[in-house]
Structure 1
Amino acid sequence: MGAGISSLSKICLVEPHGRRLMSTVKLDRSGGDQELDIDYTFVGLGIENSEVDVAGNCGNMSSAIGPYAYNAGLLPSYVYEQIGGEVTVKIRNTNTGKLIDSTFEVVGGQAAVIGDYTIDGVTGSGSTIKLDFKHPYGSKTGKVLPTGNILDTVAGYEVSCIDGANPAIFVRAKDVGVDGAILPNDFNKLSEKLGLLERIRKAAAVAMGIAPSEDLVPRTIPKIGLVSKSSKHLVLSGKSLEDKQMDLVVRFLSDTQPHRAIPLTAALTTAVAARIPGTIVEQLLAFDPVMKDAITIGHASGWLQVNPTMDKEDPSVPVSATVYRTAKRLFEGKTYWIDNNQVGSEGSSTYGSGGTHSLGLAFVLENRGQSTEHLFTDVAGNS
């Protein structure tokens, strides 16, 4: 499932949220409890090997979770009492424990697809999906600034390490000798620069506490972004962006590959970094923002706006971040596999069928070598 590039080799496991879990497991480090409808688990698939990665979340994939859950009948029954209008689905991502409100239109008992909202890098238009990310920070380390510093020197380069919706490292494009507005195909030809950025990424990941050593750093997080000032440049469509159309320019890498647009979680983290005085991102912002209260980010396919809201008492802590996306079903099918282990045999997992635990969360914890015993204990305390 997927294609030959890291940004397209992805799976989301979607299931109704087990409400008993809210009283037994506290995953949202920010303390924002709320009634939840859906759990979803993001899985990244290796493109050159058989690796299955559950280290972080994918914001763009989260766009499809609410409409998919609605169409698949996974939501509470009261949601389906209305067959038209606006619906909000409350989602938990099991990889990070973070919460998302997905708001979209339904028409005739199905999530709306047709609309006039367009996104740079996405063909055509669609119905708007509003995503409100709650407390979009500390997804991996529990801190906005994992190293405790706004600026760090890593592998000889000045960087800002920010743990937002996903952890990210920001470095000035000019410091590593790369054109900040470079396009992916040209970037792929710079193997030495890509190797340098991967070394910086791994060293920074250790400094952030994400991995104990560089050889254990996950392949997809943290991501690394090259930041430069807003400038007139071409994007992948062949069109030219003017410098006044953006507040800054960012080029992100994932799994050593340049992104053709910008990962949504990386955009959220960029917006958070832009609100923290002294970070590399904040230093390179345009003096006059394109839109008040929003950060307009230039990427290889165009631009994207994120509206971050910071805590009034502590301006370095984000309370929420809002973005708008689209999604539509492309096809429906079945995937078959061969499992050589019998369910329930010694050494294998026994999930059961009637519990209120999250199977996706169990999958994430097992991949991280953590216990899942608390997920399979019923309300009376029996395993």
Structure 2
Amino acid sequence: MARREIPFLFIRGGTSRGPYFNAADLPSDRDAIAKILLQVVGAGHPLNIDGIGGGNAVTNKVAMLSRSADDAADIDYFFAQVSVLEQLVDFKPTCGNILSGVGPAAIEMGLMPASDPVTEVRIKLVNTGALVVARVQTPGGVVRYDGDTAIDGVPGTAARIDLQFMDVVGAATGKLLPTGNLRDQFDDIEVTCMDVAMPTVTARADAFGLSGHETVQELKADKNFMARMERVRLAAGAAMGMGDVTQSVTPKFAIFAPAKAGGTIAARYFMPWEPHPTMAVTGAQCLASCAMTPGSIADGLLTRPTTSPATVTIEHPSGMIDVVVDYNTGGNGFDLNSAGLVRTARKLASGNLFVSDEG
């Protein structure tokens, strides 16, 4: 059986991790890429024992990088979400946490020259078409991973990476409000369907009889809630023009509750078939936008900032995440200009992965 060696970097990006590839080392056909990535991760086993996956959606993410042909970008970032248990690779969404490692990886791969002391990398998110500007610490023209910036969900500290997301409204559906409404109702649950960086369906926790401050383990164990949430998500996905989303990780789902630890609002985010242990970067932008929009499902759960840019602090199972929202007051009460976050990344390993040409 023919074997193939594929160079890779193994990087923690934000609160996720996975292999980063130079796209030139992979096939151009998505079906062929999917066959390779299923082997890389070891999909089909709860521990992903025959691959480098971590048995969790946040550790089964893949980044594929190339120089961009778009004059507005330096690097194209193509993302894939690989299933833990199923032979499934989803190319529809993107991942803002894995995005945190794209700038460092592009420099390490020689796809992007480094400056001193900071390198600004303009990144095109191939899956959604969005543009992000990443500022990577590169003193002396070398990527710096150590630093004093902490993010909740990751132990210790690392070098700061600033991400500024541009043109993220309607990234997947073309509309801020894909259904045309600030609120919809599915299975007797009222939700706001919004598309900012990641199409997300958001409900109030108390609509499900929850506090919104449950642990990941408590949410996973609540089979009735998880089943009802999925029914709402499927109906909302169809109403958002996304078709049958039974096997798609988008739209994502979230629940809101009043903050209790000094944040702006509390949220639990789903990937969507299990709770996120922290908070997705793309999801955080959509939730922050939803929280800031008058008339949305968030009404009555928070005191909205009144100046722009505003910092929206979202409480999640492992702590908090800050989203800096630059906005104007528009027809819907909210027009987003950009959203910024601070993340970190760390190179964990590099080398070659071995896969079969036969899949």
TM-score normalized by structure 1? 0.76
Instruction: Name which of 91, 94, 110 aligns with 1:54.
Output: 91
2:340 paired with 1:322: yes
For residues 323-378 of structure 1, give each alpha carbon's deviation from its aligned partner in whole angstroms, at most 9, with x where no partner exists: 0000010011212222249xxxxxxxxxxxxxxxxxxxxxxxxxxxxxxxxxxxxx
Gap runs ≥5 in structure 2: 1-40, 42-52
Aligned equivalents of 1:174, 1:182: Cα separation in 2: 12
2:106 paired with 1:89: no
- Counterparts of 1:41-120 in structure 2, within 5 Å, are 41-75=78-112, 79-80=113-114, 82=115, 84-120=116-152
Give the 3-state SS of the residue equivalent to 1:336 in structure 2: strand
2:309–2:324: 8 Å Cα contact kept in structure 1?
Answer: no
Q: What residue in structure 2 maps to residue 374 of structure 1?
A: none
Taking only aligned residues, the RMSD between alpha carbons, in angstroms, comes to 2.0
Aligned equivalents of 1:73, 1:230: Cα separation in 2: 44
For residues 135-186 of structure 1, give each alpha carbon's deviation from its aligned partner in whole angstroms, at most 9, with x where no partner exists: 2221110000000100111121110000110000110101111221000011
Aligned equivalents of 1:287, 1:191: Cα separation in 2: 33
Give the 3-state SS of the residue equivalent to 2:346 in structure 1: coil
2:348 paired with 1:339: no
TM-score normalized by structure 2? 0.81
2:288–2:312: 8 Å Cα contact kept in structure 1?
Answer: yes
Q: Which letter maps to 1:48?
A: L
Displacement after TM superposition at 1:282 (Å)? 4.2
2:232 paired with 1:200: yes
2:313 paired with 1:276: no
2:249 paired with 1:220: yes
Q: What residue in structure 1 maps to residue 44 of structure 2?
A: none
2:274 paired with 1:257: yes
- Counterparts of 1:338-377 in structure 2, within 5 Å, are 338-340=356-358
Q: What residue in structure 1 maps to residue 264 of structure 2?
A: 247
Displacement after TM superposition at 1:187 (Å)? 1.2
Moved more, 256-265 or 313-322: 313-322
Identity %: 30
Q: Which letter maps to 1:66?
A: G
Displacement after TM superposition at 1:3 (Å)? 1.4
Aligned equivalents of 1:56, 1:222: Cα separation in 2: 9
Structure exhibiting the larger radius of gyration computed from Cα positions:
1
Aligned equivalents of 1:288, 1:142: Cα separation in 2: 27
Aligned equivalents of 2:236, 2:329: Cα separation in 1: 30
For residues 185-215 of structure 1, give each alpha carbon's deviation from its aligned partner in whole angstroms, at most 9, with x where no partner exists: 111111111111011111111111111x3xx
Q: Which has the higher strand share?
A: 2
Displacement after TM superposition at 1:292 (Å)? 7.4
